[in-house]
Amino acid sequence: MMARARAPLTEILRHLRAEPSRTWSVIITVFGDAIVPRGGSVWLGTLVRFFAALDIGDGVVRTAMSRLAADGWLERRRVGRNSFYHLTEKGRATFRQATLHIYGAHARRWNGRFELILLGDARVRESLRPLLATAGFGAAAPGLWVAPAGTPVPRVGAGALHLDAGCDLATARRLAERCWPLERMAAAYDRFLSLFAPLEAALDALPIAEGDAFTARILLIHEYRRIILRDPTLPLELLPAAWPGAKARALCGELYHRLLPASERWLDDHGLNEAGGLPPAGPELALRFRAPA
């Protein structure tokens, strides 16, 4: 990639390095975005080569892989002196759900109703907080969790009350502002747009090298994943005007598909598993960020 076109990628890399070390989190992105669609197993050397482009040494990568294995996300298989990694069943299940949220369509209409979960026991409330937040519920009051009707309700155990309620749109918008950190979410989307919009202009001007395309693709999804997995993706009627989330998703999808061909060629050349080269990705890869027909 020529210097002028590589400048946005350099800025993205600078942004990554300015944050606390999260090599293990980038590895999760690599597996979910690039390795799972191509069989799910990869040689450690392939990952080391990718992270070298981020100026992250092989010792840091090996430590992060060991941590992920110890935490039950990855399993290692040795073939001679080479190590190959694949996701555990825990990892595969988590990735299936995350993939739907990251790459799927989120637009939905609000039907005027909310799902409510009322929890009485304070200890139960705290233990279920991460589960409910991940499911898209917001805290309206201590023990009271709310989500737009149609949101899948997680199993919260005996003693919880599941209710249905409705209100007018103005009240619903006030409720959304109270239950979900919309200002913080909007600021995160704005930062994403500022960071990646220059890359779109650079791709308009010049072609991108295959290695740079793979790096840009992974960092694009890494940043987007960190935002979207915290976003309850509320119906647009409940969100503030000019909500930046829709624009961020459009930019991410556009960049993703522009980077995809060259980045897949890099994997063709450098991605290895126990059998040799990685198998080609299935048709579902090309459908990411595409609205269903």
Helix-helix angle 23-30:210-228, to 10 degrees: 100
Residues 151, 243: one domain?
no
What range defines the domain where residue 130 resides? 113-166
Q: For the segment 82-129, what is each residue's pLDDT rounded down to a tens digit?
A: 999 999 998 888 888 889 889 987 778 899 999 999 987 777 778 888
Reduced to 3 states (helix: H, G, I; strand: E, B; else coil), residue 111 is: coil
Taking residue 68's Cβ as centre, other Cβ atoms within 10 Å add up to 23
Is pLDDT at 1 greater than 60 in this prediction? no
In a domain, 229, yes or no: yes
Residues 195, 290: one domain?
yes
Q: For the segment 128-171, what is each residue's pLDDT rounded down to a tens digit?
A: 888 888 889 999 998 899 999 988 888 876 678 889 999 999 99
Residue 148 pairs with which residues in a beta bridge? Answer: 114
In a domain, 176, yes or no: no
Nearest to 263 by CA among 291, 286, 289: 286
Residues 159, 187: one domain?
no
Q: For the segment 240-283, what is each residue's pLDDT rounded down to a tens digit?
A: 989 999 999 999 999 999 999 999 999 999 999 999 999 999 99
Q: Phi, psi (5° rounding) for residue 107?
A: -60, 125
Residues 88, 37: one domain?
yes
Is pLDDT at 293 greater than 60 in this prediction? no
Q: For the chain, what is the domain count?
A: 2
Rounded to two decimals, what is the model's pTM? Answer: 0.90
CB of 153 within 8 A of CB of 115? Answer: yes
C-alpha distances (whole Å) from 126 to each of 115, 131, 175 are: 19, 10, 21
In a domain, 171, yes or no: no
Dihedral sign, CA of 285, 105, 72, 188?
A: positive
CB of 136 within 8 A of CB of 232? Answer: yes
Q: What's the one-letter identity of residue 118?
A: L
Residues 268, 286: one domain?
yes
Residues 119, 91: one domain?
no
List the CATH number of the domain containing 71.
1.10.10.10
Burial class (CB in 10 A: 0-12, 13-18, 19+), 238: buried
How far is Cα 189 from Cα 94, in angstroms, rounded to an integer?
A: 24
Q: Phi, psi (5° rounding) for residue 84?
A: -125, 145
In a domain, 77, yes or no: yes
Residues 60, 119: one domain?
no
How far is Cα 202 from Cα 105, in angstroms, rounded to an integer?
A: 27
Residues 194, 271: one domain?
yes
Nearest to 29 by CA among 15, 45, 16: 16
Residues 145, 236: one domain?
no
